[in-house]
Amino acid sequence: MSREAQVDITRLIAGALSIVTFSIVVLVVMPYFLTKSSTVPAKPAPYTSAQQTGRSVYIANGCIYCHSQQPRDPSIAPDQKRGWGRPSVPADYVHDQPHLLGTMRTGPDLFNIAVRQPSRDWHLGHLYQPRAYTAQSIMPAYPFLFDVKKGPAEPGERVVLLPPGTAPAGTRVVARAEAEALVDYLLSLDHTYPVRPPSSARGTP
Amino acid sequence: MSFTVGLLVVTFLASLAGLGLFIWSMASGLFGPESAASRVIFGAKEIGLAEEPAAENLGQQNELQETMNRTGHTGEFAVLTEAEVDERLAQDASGKWPVLLCIGFAVAWLVLASVFGLISSIKLHAPDWLADQAWLTFGRIRPAHLNAVGYGWCSLAAFGVSLWLMPRLLRTPLVGGKTAAAGATLWGLGVTAGVTAILTGYSTGLEWLEFPWQCDVPMVIGGTLMGVSLLRTLRNRTVEHLYVSVWYIAAGLLWLPILITVANWPGIHFGVQQAAMNWWYGHNVLGLWFTPIGLAAIYYFIPKVLGKPIHSYNLSLVGFWTLAFFYSQVGGHHLIGGPVPGWIISLSIVQSMMMLVPVTAVAINQHRTSWGHLGALRYSPTLRFVVIGGMMYTLASVQGSLEALRVVNTVTHFTHFTVAHAHLGLYGFFSMVMFGSIYFMLPRVLDWEWPSRGLITAHFWLVIGGFAIYFVGLSIGGWLQGRAMLDASRPFIDSVVITKPYLLVRTIGGSLMTLGHLVFALHVGLMLTRRGAARRGPTLLRTRSYTPSLPTVAIGGTVA
Residues B224-253: pLDDT tens digits? Answer: 999 999 999 999 998 888 899 999 999 999
pLDDT at B535 over 70: no
Give the closest of B288, B321, B488 to A15, CB-based.
Answer: B321
Greater model confidence, B25 or B246: B246
pLDDT at B78 over 80: no
**How far does the CA of residue A158 sit from the closest CA of chain B (Å)?**
21
Residue numbers in A near B207 (CB within 8 A) = 64, 103
Residue numbers in A near B288 (CB within 8 A) = 20
**Cα(B386)–Cα(B384) distance, rounded to whole angstroms?**
6
pLDDT at B87 over 50: yes
Indicate yes or no: CB of A66 within 8 angstroms of CB of B486.
Answer: no
The predicted pLDDT at position A172 comes to: 93
Distances (CA, A) of A59 to A97, A191, B123, B129, B145: 11, 20, 19, 21, 16
Indicate yes or no: CB of B288 within 8 angstroms of CB of A202.
Answer: no
The predicted pLDDT at position B75 comes to: 45
Residue numbers in B near A134 (CB within 8 A) = 493
The predicted pLDDT at position B548 comes to: 36
Q: Count residue pairs from A and B with Cβ separation < 8 A.
A: 263
Tell whether A141 is within 8 A of chain B (Cβ): yes
Indicate yes or no: CB of A27 within 8 angstroms of CB of B271.
Answer: no
The least confident of B244-248, B335-339, B430-434 is B335-339
Query: What percent of chain B clears pLDDT 90, i.e. is strictly above it?
Result: 60
**Cα(B223)–Cα(B155) distance, rounded to whole angstroms?**
10
Tell whether B1 is within 8 A of chain A (Cβ): yes
CB B153, CB B110: distance < 8 Å: yes
What is the arithmetic mean of pLDDT over B545-557?
A: 34
Greater model confidence, B446 or A58: A58
Indicate yes or no: CB of B288 within 8 angstroms of CB of A20.
Answer: yes
The predicted pLDDT at position B30 comes to: 56
Interface mutation vs chain B, best among A27, A137, A196, most B CBs within 10 Å:
A27
Residue numbers in B near A32 (CB within 8 A) = 268-269, 273
CB A143, CB A130: distance < 8 Å: no
Indicate yes or no: CB of A96 within 8 angstroms of CB of B254.
Answer: no
Indicate yes or no: CB of B488 within 8 angstroms of CB of A78.
Answer: yes
The predicted pLDDT at position B70 comes to: 58
**Cα(B92)–Cα(B445) distance, rounded to whole angstroms?**
6
Q: Is the peptide bond before A90 cis (omega within 30 degrees of 0)?
A: no
The predicted pLDDT at position B44 comes to: 76
Residue numbers in B near A68 (CB within 8 A) = 414
pLDDT at B24 over 90: no
Distances (CA, A) of A68 to A62, B193, B325, B335: 11, 28, 30, 11
**Cα(B402)–Cα(B396) distance, rounded to whole angstroms?**
10
The predicted pLDDT at position B255 comes to: 95
pLDDT band at residue B5 under the 50/70/90 scheme: low
Q: Phi and psi for B525 in degrees, rounded to 5?
A: -60, -45
The predicted pLDDT at position B377 comes to: 85
Beta bridge partners of B414: A104
The predicted pLDDT at position A37 comes to: 60
**How far does the CA of residue A9 sit from the closest CA of chain B (Å)?**
8
**ipTM, 2 dp:** 0.93
pLDDT at B59 over 80: no
**Cα(B174)–Cα(B502) distance, rounded to whole angstroms?**
48
**Cα(B502)–Cα(B486) distance, rounded to whole angstroms?**
19
Angle separating helix axes B381-404 and B453-486, nearest 10 degrees? 10
What is the arithmetic mean of pLDDT over B152-156?
A: 98
pLDDT at B144 over 80: yes
The least confident of B25-29, B53-57, B262-266, B528-532 is B25-29
The predicted pLDDT at position B537 comes to: 40
Give the closest of A72, A106, A130 to B337, CB-based.
Answer: A72
Residue numbers in B near A60 (CB within 8 A) = 140, 201-203
The predicted pLDDT at position A201 comes to: 45
Residue in B225, B217, B226 with CA at minimum distance from that of residue B191: B217
pLDDT at B289 over 90: yes
Give me the amino acid identity at B59.
Answer: G
pLDDT at A39 over 80: no
Indicate yes or no: CB of A99 within 8 angstroms of CB of B131.
Answer: no
Segment 75-134 of chain A within 8 Å of chain B by CB:
76-78, 81-82, 87-90, 92-108, 130-131, 134
Tell whether B271 is within 8 A of chain A (Cβ): yes
pLDDT at B71 over 60: no
With CA atoms as reference, the chain B residue closest to A68 would be B414
The predicted pLDDT at position B557 comes to: 34
Residues B464-509: tens digit of each pLDDT? 999 999 999 999 999 999 999 999 999 999 999 999 999 999 999 9
Residue numbers in B near A1 (CB within 8 A) = 235, 237
The predicted pLDDT at position B417 comes to: 97
Tell whether A70 is within 8 A of chain B (Cβ): yes
The predicted pLDDT at position B546 comes to: 34
Residues B354-382: tens digit of each pLDDT? 899 899 888 888 888 888 888 888 888 99
Interface mutation vs chain B, best among A19, A63, A67, most B CBs within 10 Å:
A19
**How far does the CA of residue B139 sit from the closest CA of chain A (Å)?**
4
Give the closest of B131, B271, B276 to A141, CB-based.
Answer: B131
Mean pLDDT of chain B: 87
